[in-house]
Amino acid sequence: MNKTPIFSGAATALITPMRGDGTVDYEVFGRLIDWQIEEGISALVIAGTTGEGSTLSDAEHMEVLRFAAERANGRVAMVAGTGSNNTAHAIEMSKEACGFGYDALLTVTPYYNKATQGGLVKTYMTIADAVTKPLILYNMPSRTGVNIEPSTYAALADHPNIAGIKEANGNMSKIVETVALVGDRLTLYSGNDDQIVPLLSMGGKGVISVLSNVLPAKTQQICSLFFEGKIAESAALQCELLPLINALFCEVNPIPVKAGMAAMGWGENVVRLPLTQMEPAHRAKLIALMQQQGLDVE
């Protein structure tokens, strides 16, 4: 069963701008959505890890999703972060996001619970059966404590409502094994900015990116060059941006990207506890690397 990709190219895992008092800054958020689309991004992922979905209240989470979908107004593919370690809660949020007009739902593996592989199959099947939009399975074992194994992807791949993978396990051998097992039944997206070209070389269709918050056009260009057959140029751009990518992950995401976006004028450098602001020495290095890319930062 071949499935049409939700998007091809770069999708920005968008930050959620906040004011000094910790509330969501919708004025900045709206302008940011417009700018990302103007810069040529293929899709936006709202209220995921980078969007601090885990520290938004339920009411805030839904309002952020509603606002973003309304502001984008069909101009790009929209993906809603609706994962939870409470499956019933994930279904509730996912259903509401479907009503806002999202094209897909990004559903992270249940964190803390450390489900078995059989538990992951049952969880994802249950969510997929309950909603009207396709799921992109989000695999990030470094944060959740559980990895989706290739055989588990294979067990899920024929569900008509399970469309893709955001793969952030960092293990290329496992990724190759997954592709060998699922083929075109699931669309593969890189969940790591330092592995965009390697995953594209395995048939991936793009990246769900943190980097593209600050450099949407260049992140998109990595994918576009690859799709045009300009593999060497794509790889060269991936390598050129690697120091900046590493700086964006020198502290836990989204601490660095929030600092970088604030330096570009996209709201205040505010993250919610338990996250704290970037260490000054790390920030100085990040800002220097952003300046090297021609970004106007303070």
Segments making up each domain of the chain, as ranges: 9-230
Q: Which regions of 185-242 does DSSP assign to beta strands (E)? A: 187-190, 206-209
129, 95, 127: which is closest to 108 by C-alpha? Answer: 127
The CATH fold of domain 9-230 = TIM Barrel (3.20.20)
Choose, from 102, 133, 153, 166, the residue flagged as catalytic.
Answer: 166
SS (H, E, C) 33-58: HHHHHHCCCCEEEECCCCCCHHHCCH
How much is the pLDDT for 289?
A: 98
How much is the pLDDT for 298?
A: 81
pLDDT per residue as tens digits for the range 172-187: 999 999 999 999 999 9
Q: What band does 113 get if pLDDT is binned at 50, 70 and 90? A: very high
How much is the pLDDT for 149?
A: 97
Report how far residue 184's alpha carbon sits from residue 132's, in angstroms, rounded to the nearest whole number: 21
CB contact at 8 A, 186 and 159: no
State which H helix or E strand residue 106 sits in: strand 104-108
pLDDT over 80 at 2, yes or no: no
How much is the pLDDT for 89?
A: 96
Report how far residue 218's alpha carbon sits from residue 293's, in angstroms, rounded to the nearest whole number: 10
Give 252's contacts (C-beta < 8 A, 6+ positions apart): 275
76, 72, 75, 56: which is closest to 64 by C-alpha? Answer: 56
Query: Can 166 be counted among the known catalytic residues?
Result: yes
pLDDT per residue as tens digits for the range 138-168: 999 999 999 999 999 999 999 999 999 999 9
pLDDT above 90 covers a percentage of the chain that reads 98
How much is the pLDDT for 208?
A: 98
pLDDT per residue as tens digits for the range 212-254: 999 999 999 999 999 999 999 999 999 999 999 999 999 999 9
pLDDT above 70 covers a percentage of the chain that reads 99
Report how far residue 259's alpha carbon sits from residue 271's, in angstroms, rounded to the nearest whole number: 9
Q: What band does 281 get if pLDDT is binned at 50, 70 and 90? A: very high
59, 32, 85, 55: which is closest to 261 by C-alpha? Answer: 32
Helices 117-130 and 87-99: crossing angle in degrees, nearest 10, is: 30
Query: Can 153 be counted among the known catalytic residues?
Result: no
151, 140, 113: which is closest to 48 by C-alpha? Answer: 140
Q: Stretch 257-278: mean pLDDT, rounded?
A: 97
Report how far residue 257's alpha carbon sits from residue 180's, in angstroms, rounded to the nearest whole number: 34
Omega before 280 within 30 of 0, i.e. cis: no
Q: Stretch 35-44: mean pLDDT, rounded?
A: 98
How much is the pLDDT for 84?
A: 95
Choose, from 102, 124, 133, 138, the residue flagged as catalytic.
Answer: 138
Helices 87-99 and 58-72: crossing angle in degrees, nearest 10, is: 30
- Mean pLDDT of the residues in the chain: 97
pLDDT over 90 at 130, yes or no: yes
